[in-house]
Structure 1
Amino acid sequence: MNKMEVLAKLLELGEAFTIQEALDHLKIDRNLMKYYLKVLSEAGFIKRIGKGVYALTPDPKETPSIHEFVLTSLFIKPSAIAYWSALNYHGFTEQIPNIVFVQTTARKKRQELGVFGVRYKIVRIKPEKFFGIEKAWIEEFQVPITDREKTVVDCLDKPRYCGGIIEVAKAFREELGIEKLREYALRMDNSAVIRRLGYLCDYFGVDIDLKKPKTRNYILLDPTMPREGNVNSKWRVIVNVELEGLE
């Protein structure tokens, strides 16, 4: 096979592929595969996006048009689209973040990176917090993304990655699985998540079985905002954002 025949076969795999997928599809020697990858890369038809992962373009003058969520699932493993990106995907917020938020349990030295002009924020979490993930079909790929309830809980855990409490509060205007929301919040093992969730449920009139905190200290409802506002003694939060109009 010449390089164009190899390119045609690789395009059958879609807009991106791994070396192993290419080997299985082309049924050629690994060294020969490396040679073709080198030749096609130099010609501009393929671009390396991660260890053993490549994106394809039939026109070397154009950047591969692969969806940014698909790219994430290919070069960060394990991973899930999360926080502000997941809020937008689930339709909880009309705001479209200019950065893709990804959570992973893998140890990554870089917390931010750019691929094909897209910026990614990589948030490392503890393995016990990596749950509540579903698969979304995007451009013939199954992409891991936090489900509706886990997205809310994650944003209450780290509001700085969702644009603040106002953005996650908008989710309470939509239908949520309250039992699942409660289960997820308890699994996070974070008092701040319980308190923020408890306050928001009270505000939006959502009946959820959560125990009041036994601590005397107060936390900010929105840690991205100044420490000022009324206090809520039930949940021990300082209400430092205005939620009026979101009901």
Structure 2
Amino acid sequence: MNTMGILRRLSELGDVFTKKEAQEKLGMSTKQLNYYLEALLREGFLRRVTKGIYTLSLEPGRTSSPHEFVLGQLLVPNGAVAYWSALNYYGMTEQIPRTVFIQTPVKKDYRKLLIVDGKRFKVIVVSPEKFFGISTIRLGRREVRITDPEKTIVDCLDKPKYCGGIIEVLKALKNARLDYEKLLEYAERMKSKAVLKRLGFLSGRLGLGIEKEIRLSEGDRKSFALLDPSMPPEGRFNYRWGLRINVPDDYWEEVE
């Protein structure tokens, strides 16, 4: 098969693919595959985005940059778009994060920040028990995993620093259409009292009613978590929820 025949076969994978996918598609040896990939790179039909990932165009020199979510899926095959990136995708925040946040239960030596094809990726490794509530969306020919809206909120309650702070969670709770029963179920499934405390406090502040279903023991209330762990440990104590409200009083003005 000549290089143009190989190109047509590869185009069936879409405009971005991995070397592993190409080998499975073409059914050839690594040596043969490397030969054709290098030939197509020289002719301008392919562009190497990073090790093992290529973009393709049927017009030489016209390869495009893949969608950041698609690239994130290829970089972290066992992951899902999450936190601030998922908040933005669902329209739960007007903020546009400069970094794509990917959650994965698979421990690997990921760098703190990956920069690939001019895009920034932050990989957050969580325990397998916290990796649930995953949906699938289609972008071009690719399916991409993303946390569903309720899991996105719960993850942001768990790690507010990956969503722009607790204020972004408050905005999302106020403006988004959410299944509150599922939201509470997910919060309980996280096995984190801090998540339940933050959810209860914010729900009470917005009058959502979720707070009425949250049960905390006296011991839970005497062990104080920070409302926003991304901010300094200061501020008044809330004994109803066992929280230290470490945000200024005018913090809520733009929302309420």
Q: TM over 0.5: same fold?
A: yes
> Of 242, 245, 252, which residue of structure 2 is paired with 1:236?
242
Alpha-carbon distance in structure 1 between the residues aligned to 2:49 and 2:7: 17
> Of 224, 229, 233, which residue of structure 2 is paired with 1:223?
229
Amino acid at match of 1:17: F
Residue 122 (structure 1) aligns with: 123
What's the offset of the Cα at 1:15? Answer: 1.1
Residue 66 (structure 2) aligns with: 66
SS of residue in 1 equivalent to 2:144: strand
Could you tell me whether the CA contact under 8 Å between 2:45 and 2:63 is conserved in 1? no
Residue 89, structure 1, aligned to residue 89, structure 2: yes
Count of residues in correspondence between the two structures: 247
CA RMSD of aligned residues (A): 2.1
Amino acid at match of 2:143: Q
Could you tell me whether the CA contact under 8 Å between 2:112 and 2:123 is conserved in 1? yes
Could you tell me whether the CA contact under 8 Å between 1:51 and 1:75 is conserved in 2? no
Amino acid at match of 2:142: F
Alpha-carbon distance in structure 2 between the residues aligned to 1:217 and 1:32: 62
Q: Do the aligned partners of residues 132 and 210 (structure 1) sit closer, same or farther apart at CA in structure 2, a change above 3 Å counting?
A: same
Could you tell me whether the CA contact under 8 Å between 2:113 and 2:122 is conserved in 1? yes
Alpha-carbon distance in structure 2 between the residues aligned to 1:178 and 1:80: 22
Q: Do the aligned partners of residues 42 and 125 (structure 1) sit closer, same or farther apart at CA in structure 2, a change above 3 Å counting?
A: farther
Alpha-carbon distance in structure 1 between the residues aligned to 2:49 and 2:76: 10
Amino acid at match of 1:104: T
Alpha-carbon distance in structure 2 between the residues aligned to 1:20 and 1:122: 22
Moved more, 41-50 or 119-128: 41-50
Residue 203 (structure 2) aligns with: 201
Give CA-to-partner distance per residue, 1:107-149, whole Å, 9 cap, x none: 2212321111001001111111100000011123111000000
Moved more, 81-90 or 25-34: 25-34
Residue 142 (structure 2) aligns with: 141
Give CA-to-partner distance per residue, 1:145-164, whole Å, 9 cap, x none: 00000000001111111110
SS of residue in 2 equivalent to 1:122: strand
Alpha-carbon distance in structure 1 between the residues aligned to 2:74 and 2:185: 30
Q: Do the aligned partners of residues 119 and 20 (structure 1) sit closer, same or farther apart at CA in structure 2, a change above 3 Å counting?
A: closer
Could you tell me whether the CA contact under 8 Å between 2:55 and 2:63 is conserved in 1? no
Q: Do the aligned partners of residues 92 and 122 (structure 1) sit closer, same or farther apart at CA in structure 2, a change above 3 Å counting?
A: same
Alpha-carbon distance in structure 2 between the residues aligned to 1:99 and 1:134: 20
SS of residue in 2 equivalent to 1:135: strand
TM-score by length of 1: 0.90
What's the offset of the Cα at 1:217? Answer: 2.6
Alpha-carbon distance in structure 2 between the residues aligned to 1:244 and 1:90: 23
- Unaligned stretches of 5+ residues in structure 2: none
Residue 246 (structure 1) aligns with: 255
Residue 188, structure 1, aligned to residue 176, structure 2: no
Could you tell me whether the CA contact under 8 Å between 2:50 and 2:117 is conserved in 1? no
Alpha-carbon distance in structure 1 between the residues aligned to 2:127 and 2:59: 41
Give CA-to-partner distance per residue, 1:151-179, whole Å, 9 cap, x none: 00001111111110011111112221111
Q: Do the aligned partners of residues 143 and 118 (structure 1) sit closer, same or farther apart at CA in structure 2, a change above 3 Å counting?
A: same
Q: Do the aligned partners of residues 122 and 154 (structure 1) sit closer, same or farther apart at CA in structure 2, a change above 3 Å counting?
A: same
Identical aligned pairs, as a percentage? 49
Moved more, 232-241 or 121-130: 232-241
The structure carrying a bigger helix percent of its residues is: 2
Residue 170 (structure 1) aligns with: 171
TM-score by length of 2: 0.87
- Unaligned stretches of 5+ residues in structure 1: none
Could you tell me whether the CA contact under 8 Å between 1:212 and 1:234 is conserved in 2? no
